Amino acid sequence: MILSRLLFKNSDPSAVVSKIEKSIGKLNRQKRFISYRESGNFAKSLHCLLDTVESNVLPKNPLDALWLFALFIETDSSVIGQADDSSGEIGECYHRACKLLGVASEAANYLNSQKVRGAHHLPMTF
């Protein structure tokens, strides 16, 4: 987590999102089987990816975080299908991602409601 803060502290937000999207894309292209012994370290790397989105993207742009969490969740079948997750550690990462998706959704909804509340005259279009 400290490393991700240092890496992304002064980075352009769109560049951060792009880097994370690439990392998530690699998960979908994962072809190597992850053994039971490797699954703990692999789960740690997934948690690190989620930590990066949570600490570097979510506070600044909840919509981007929402997008990244959804992309991450979509990798579940390719990742879990290529791993021995008998310990459940990898599955726990996806459980956490679902919770974070909810947090990002609430944050995005809150920001949207603040923008609407601040608008005095909204155009009526149907």
Tell me the per-residue pLDDT of 76-99, one tens digit each, with 9 for 90 and over: 999 999 999 999 999 999 999 999
Domain ranges of the chain: 36-118
Higher pLDDT, 111 or 87: 87
What token pair was written down for 111?
């920001």
Round the average pLDDT of the chain to a whole number and report it. 85
pLDDT band (50, 70, 90) for residue 119: very low
Q: Are 58 and 99 in contact (CB under 8 A)?
A: no
Examine the pLDDT at 9 and tell me if it is beyond 70. Answer: no
Confidence of residue 3 (pLDDT cuts 50, 70, 90): very low
pTM for this model (two decimals): 0.81
Nearby residues of 64 by Cβ (< 8 Å), 6 or more positions away? 13, 17, 57
Query: How does pLDDT run across 36-62, given as a tens digit for each residue?
Result: 999 999 999 999 999 999 999 999 999
Among 24-38, 96-110, 111-125, whose mean pLDDT is lowest? 111-125
Does 5 score more than 70 pLDDT?
A: no
